[in-house]
């Protein structure tokens, strides 16, 4: 079943500019779509944050930071970011669209690659990361899913959504960013990452390209993490006998568990990679991996899922998720990508198969296609007529053009359109370019202009009624926030954003602000019995809830020791105040201070948690403690007062 049919963004015009055409991939934080920028008439990729996350300001801030970071990386091997924006619940990035496939798909289809192909992919990846590293950024999530191989022979690094400035804190306490199989030991152990962490990930990717499998595997993430921390990445030749020692050394250096032993950044690793390539003979570069080696599995930890390629429509545009289609006789090194000095990648030349042969083969194929096509056109030209292009033309001009082509207008329907001017053609049936018999008719759909929905006035209604009214008006209820209001009753809508009367496109999200009622000052009920505290709160329109368990406190056992919210805080009528009950003060041992100087005795008792009172007999001039109200070794309530007496005459 095609789940994209249920996606509400498909077919919509986002932010008045981007027409969403197809869903490409789904990740943990966002979904990627193929879209058309109607202003510049170009295909691009839209990365749209999941609406549930758009309500979290920290996620939105991180998403926007991605746009600003990647926009600074002007490099031919980095996926470009063009724009960033938001409409209602949808926060998005507009990015370069790469028609082709991911390295993950190549590995899944073909398993291990020849060394030449692996290096041809690794080098432009390192060129892209090197530019990022020297610009002060760390990718932090390098893996085959983020390496795009275009149909035009370009390798690009995508998804800098986890970048951080090198000079800023990169602590990720509480979560491990990146896919487990490619995390450097320091990312796992300390939650920090720098340029050498990207180097480690690239070493793992190189190992996977050379062997068709990941170096560390297990039934769960914990097993893989343990191996990263305690086991070196094995040499690729252990899995694929015959691989050059230079490749083993390259992988070992990039994946050293001690970050200090790795290349400082991707620029240094690229230099080492080029040196390793120079040491390999053509036979070593073109060594064919064992056919029995299974393709790399995606694993449970590969978070991004790529959707199957949709059937091409119209002129046969290829989605980014299309796979590299190669004849069975073509080996992996027939489609590698080698970096040039200007950063672009091209196909590697091999004996007997250079660019000239491929050009002539392409020309021959093109000639055959042209000959067959022209023959079909000639045979059918007397019976059929091609529907002319009518899209965007005024209705009168379109009808005239159909008449000149010998076709009739069957009917004219009207429809709303955000992109086509009022009175101009939105579509035709049959579509432009279709061949029809000369006596057939064409149905036209003409634009009524953009459809605008006016935001209804829902102030003063309940949240449920407001949501129902918005849906009936063709709008989507958006984020709900709450605030105190002296004028609007608790639970009723204070206002909408955008405000009532504002024109919006259908299905646009409308945020709702709901009243918490008049604010109530929380009274201080500490020291009261639970019964008295409950009564005091109810008088203010608040509810009491006793938390399980008791704590030591100076308050009498059974009385309220603490409350949440604190006294004086603002709460809404009907809110709950949590009460913590005291189990009395903690009883602690009293130090023996008899015979000590008064000042020393006071300090000892205060350090133990007691208040101190000094009792000096009449006409006593001694500073030596002769006695204490609680004998040393006895127990008294923490915070209580211990009286010490000096010697009298």
As a whole number, the mean pLDDT across the chain is 79
456 — pLDDT class (breaks 50, 70, 90): very high
pLDDT for residue 349: 36
How far is it, in rounded angstroms, from Cα 519 to Cα 535? 19
Find all residues with CB under 8 Å of 439, minimum gap 6, and list them. Answer: none
What confidence tens digit (pLDDT) does each residue in 516-539 have? 988 999 999 999 999 999 999 999
| Same domain membership, residue 244 and residue 123 | yes
- Residue 549: strand, helix, or coil: strand
Residue 63 in this model has a pLDDT that exceeds 90: no
447, 465, 492 - which closes a domain:
447
C-alpha to C-alpha distance for 566 and 579, rounded to whole angstroms: 10
d(CA 625, CA 641): 16
Q: Would you say residue 165 lies in a domain? A: yes
Q: What is the CATH number of the domain that holds 292?
A: 1.10.510.10
Does residue 323 lie in a domain region? Answer: no
Q: Are residues 341 and 219 in the same domain?
A: yes
Q: What are the tens digits of pLDDT across the range 357-393?
A: 333 333 333 332 233 332 222 223 334 577 888 888 8
- Given a cut of 80, whether residue 310 has pLDDT beyond it is no
Q: What's the CA gap between 201 and 217, in Å, rounded?
A: 15
**Domain end point (choices 52, 81, 97):** 97
Q: Are 494 and 459 in contact (CB under 8 A)?
A: yes
The count of domains in the chain is 7
Q: Is the pLDDT of residue 620 over 80?
A: no
| Per-residue confidence (pLDDT) for residue 439, from 0 to 100 | 65
Domain identity same for 249 and 396? no
Separation CA 78–CA 513 (nearest Å): 41
Find the mean pLDDT for residues 49-55. 78
Q: What is the pLDDT of residue 3?
A: 43
Whether residue 296 sits in one domain with residue 175 = yes
The CA distance from 287 to 266, in Å, is: 26
Same-domain status, 408 and 336: no
Residue 329 in this model has a pLDDT that exceeds 50: no
- The neighbouring-strand residues paired with 150 are 100
CATH of the domain at 567: 3.30.10.20
Q: What is the pLDDT of residue 649?
A: 59
Q: Which residues contact 115 (CB under 8 A, 6 or more apart)?
A: 210, 243, 244, 247, 280, 284, 285, 286, 287
Digit-coded pLDDT (tens) for 407-422: 888 899 988 877 788 8
Least confident interval from 111-120, 175-184, 553-562: 175-184
DSSP codes of every residue in 133-167: HHTTEE----SGGGEEEETTS-EEE---TT-EETT
Comparing 30-39, 538-547, 583-592, 611-620, which segment has the lowest mean pLDDT? 611-620
Q: Could you read off the pLDDT of 126-145 as tens digits, one per residue? A: 999 999 898 888 888 899 99
Choose between 169 and 485: higher pLDDT.
Answer: 485
46 shares a domain with 126 = no
Q: What percent of the chain has pLDDT over 90?
A: 44
Q: Is residue 322 part of a domain?
A: no
d(CA 44, CA 10): 14
Residue 315 domain flag: no
Residues forming beta bridges with residue 611, ordered by sequence position? 641
Which of 141, 194, 559, 575 is catalytic? The answer is 141
Residue 429 appears among annotated catalytic residues: no
Query: Do 533 and 596 fall into the same domain?
Result: no
pLDDT > 80? residue 644: yes
Considering the domain architecture, whether residues 120 and 198 belong to the same structural domain is answered as yes
- pLDDT at residue 231 is higher than 70: yes
Joined together, the tokens standing for residue 631 give: 């004998």
Residue 434, SS3 per DSSP? coil
Cα-trace Rg, the chain: 36
Please tell me the total number of residues recorded for the chain in this structure: 649
Confidence of residue 316 (pLDDT cuts 50, 70, 90): very low
User: d(Cα 177, Cα 162) in Å, to the nearest integer?
Assistant: 8
Shared domain check, 615 and 513: no
Higher-scoring residue by pLDDT: 176, 620: 620
The residue-averaged pLDDT of 607-631 equals 87
Percent of the chain with pLDDT over 70: 80
Phi-psi region of 383 (alpha: psi -120 to 50; beta: other; left: phi over 0): alpha
Give the model's pLDDT for residue 416: 83
Window from 76-85, 151-160, 219-228, 289-298 with minimum mean pLDDT: 289-298
Here the contacts of 606-611 (C-beta below 8 Å, separation 24 or greater) are: 609/638, 609/639, 610/636, 610/638, 610/639, 610/640, 610/641, 610/642, 611/639, 611/640, 611/641, 611/642
* Domain-embedded: residue 599: yes
Of the two residues 120 and 28, the one the predictor is more confident about is: 120
Q: Which two tokens stand for residue 534?
A: 């409950």
Give the residues across from 476 on adjacent strands.
509
In contact, 584 and 595? CB cutoff 8 Å? no
Residue 375 domain-assigned (yes or no): yes
Report d(CA 579, CA 522) in Å as an integer. 12
Contact assessment for residue 467 and residue 477, using Cβ atoms and an 8 Å cutoff = yes
Domain assignment present for residue 325? The answer is: no
Do 339 and 63 touch, CB atoms closer than 8 A?
Answer: no
Residue 312 in domain: no
In angstroms, the CA 540 to CA 547 distance is 20
- Least confident range of 24-28, 367-371, 572-576: 367-371
569 alpha carbon, distance to own chain's centre: 37
Range of the domain at 609: 587-646
């Amino acid at each position: 079943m095609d789940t994209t049919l249920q996606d509400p963004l498909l077919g919509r015009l986002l932010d008045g500019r981007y027409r969403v055409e197809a869903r490409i991939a789904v990740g943990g934080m966002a979904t990627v779509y193929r879209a058309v920028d109607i202003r510049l008439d170009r295909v691009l990729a839209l990365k749209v944050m999941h609406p549930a996350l758009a309500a979290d300001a920290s996620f939105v801030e991180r998403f926007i930071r991605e746009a600003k970071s990647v926009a600074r990386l002007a490099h031919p091997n980095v996926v470009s970011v063009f724009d960033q924006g938001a409409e209602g619940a949808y926060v998005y990035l507009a990015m370069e669209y790469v028609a082709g496939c991911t390295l993950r798909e190549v590995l899944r289809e073909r398993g291990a690659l020849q060394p030449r192909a692996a290096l041809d992919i690794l080098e432009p990846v390192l060129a892209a990361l090197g530019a990022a590293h020297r610009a002060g950024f760390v990718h932090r999530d390098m893996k085959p899913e983020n390496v795009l191989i275009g149909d035009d022979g370009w390798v690009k690094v995508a998804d800098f959504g986890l970048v951080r400035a090198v000079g800023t804190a990169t602590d990720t306490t509480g979560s491990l960013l990146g896919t487990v199989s490619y995390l450097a030991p320091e990312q796992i152990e300390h939650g920090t990452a720098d340029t050498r962490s990207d180097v480690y990930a690239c070493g793992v990717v190189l190992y996977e390209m050379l062997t068709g499998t990941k170096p560390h595997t297990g039934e769960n993430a914990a097993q893989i993490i343990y191996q990263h921390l305690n086991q070196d990445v094995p040499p690729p030749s252990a899995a694929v006998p015959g691989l050059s020692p230079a490749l083993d050394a390259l992988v070992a250096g990039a994946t050293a568990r001690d970050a200090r032993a790795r290349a400082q950044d991707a620029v240094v690793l690229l230099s080492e990679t080029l040196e390793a390539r120079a040491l390999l003979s053509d036979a070593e570069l073109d060594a064919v991996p064992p056919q029995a080696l299974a393709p790399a599995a995606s694993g449970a930890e590969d978070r991004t899922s790529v959707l199957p390629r949709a059937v091409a429509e119209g002129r046969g545009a290829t989605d980014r998720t299309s796979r590299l289609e190669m004849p069975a006789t073509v080996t992996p090194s027939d489609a590698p990508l080698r970096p040039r000095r200007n950063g672009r990648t091209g196909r590697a030349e091999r004996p007997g198969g250079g660019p000239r042969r491929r050009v002539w083969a392409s020309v021959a194929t093109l000639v055959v296609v042209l000959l067959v096509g022209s023959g079909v056109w000639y045979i059918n030209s007397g019976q059929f007529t091609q529907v002319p292009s009518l899209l965007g033309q005024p209705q009168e001009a379109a009808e005239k053009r159909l008449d000149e082509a010998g076709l009739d207008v069957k009917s004219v329907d009207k429809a709303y359109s955000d992109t086509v001017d009022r009175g101009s053609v939105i579509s035709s049936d049959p579509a432009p370019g279709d061949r029809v018999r000369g006596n057939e008719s064409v149905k036209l759909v003409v634009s009524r202009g953009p459809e605008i929905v006016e935001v209804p006035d829902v102030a003063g209604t309940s949240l449920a009624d407001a949501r129902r009214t918005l849906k009936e008006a063709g709008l989507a209820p958006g984020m709900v926030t709450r605030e105190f209001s002296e004028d609007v009753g608790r639970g009723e809508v204070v206002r909408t954003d955008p405000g009532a009367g504002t024109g919006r496109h259908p299905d646009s999200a409308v945020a709702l602000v709901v009243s918490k009622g008049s604010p109530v000052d929380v009274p201080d009920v500490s020291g009261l019995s639970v019964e008295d505290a409950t009564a005091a709160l109810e008088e203010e329109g608040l509810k009491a809830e006793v938390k399980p368990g008791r704590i030591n406190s100076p308050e009498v056992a059974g009385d309220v020791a603490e409350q949440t919210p604190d006294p004086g805080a603002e709460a809404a009528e009907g809110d709950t105040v949590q009460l913590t009950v005291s189990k009395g003060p903690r009883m602690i041992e009293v130090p023996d201070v008899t015979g000590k100087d008064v000042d020393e005795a006071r300090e000892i008792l205060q350090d133990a948690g007691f208040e101190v009172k000094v009792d000096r007999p009449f006409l006593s001039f001694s500073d030596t403690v002769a006695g204490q109200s609680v004998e040393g070794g006895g127990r008294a309530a923490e915070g209580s007062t211990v009286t010490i007496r000096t010697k009298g005459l």
